[in-house]
Homo-oligomer: A and B are copies of this chain.
Amino acid sequence: MSLRHALLALLTVEPMTGYDLSKAFQASVSHVWHAPDSQIYPELRRMEADGLLVGTEVPWGPRGKKREYSVTPKGLDAFRAWMNEPLSYTRERDPAHLKAAYLEWAEPDAARAQMHAHIDAYTARRDDWRDKVREIDTGTSTMLEQRLAHAPASEHASIRAYKRYTYEGLIARAEHEIEWAERGLALIDELNADAPTAAHRTRADAAPPAT
């Protein structure tokens, strides 16, 4: 149900067409909750069917048309209800840590490659999130500035603060993951100190030196 509420969050700012919403989504929430267009458009239809949104056809050019959605009172209620009830936490399901637990099965170089992939993935995320806090601080986030423009000045501080808080948490998490993977690289080196190039370990294994 998170996609639904992410969409509601955006539409609380102002009514938008599916396309605009999709762009706004990519530029804001998607940094925290990814969703492709193929999920967004049908979900908007479902939300309309459920009475959370109303959609109106807007002409666009001579023959084109687009659909503009706005949040209904029922939609607002649903969003507020979601915000006011605590999340239920699902159990751990972490591919990287699952793999790490059995890393003795990997070739040392493959294990290193895994750690590098982890580092790359999280540095990209970290940089992305750092950009987001920069946008918050410099007022260059279109969505955020729109939201602030539609909100009473008394709430501006909170709105900014919660967004900054969110991204800072994610940045710290990414940094932790990078450090973890770097410790992993060190551990792999340590455990393979005797075998500097382990590319042929299985071969050597199959044909041990006859004494």
Contacts and interface: CB of A to CB of B under 8 A. Distances in A.
Interface of A: 2, 5-6, 9, 12, 29-34, 79-80, 82-87, 89-107, 110, 113-114, 116-118, 121, 125, 155, 157-159, 161-163, 165-166, 169-170, 172-173, 176-177, 180, 183-184, 187, 191
A127 to B, nearest CB: 13
B161 A187 contact: yes
Contacts of A159: 104
Main SS of chain A's interface residues?
helix
Contacts of A191: 157-158, 161
A121 to B, nearest CB: 4
A87 B114 contact: yes
Contact of A114 (B31, B86, B94, B106): B86
A6 B98 contact: yes
A38 to B, nearest CB: 14
A19 to B, nearest CB: 21
Given A2-B93, A86-B117, A89-B121, A101 B162 contact: yes
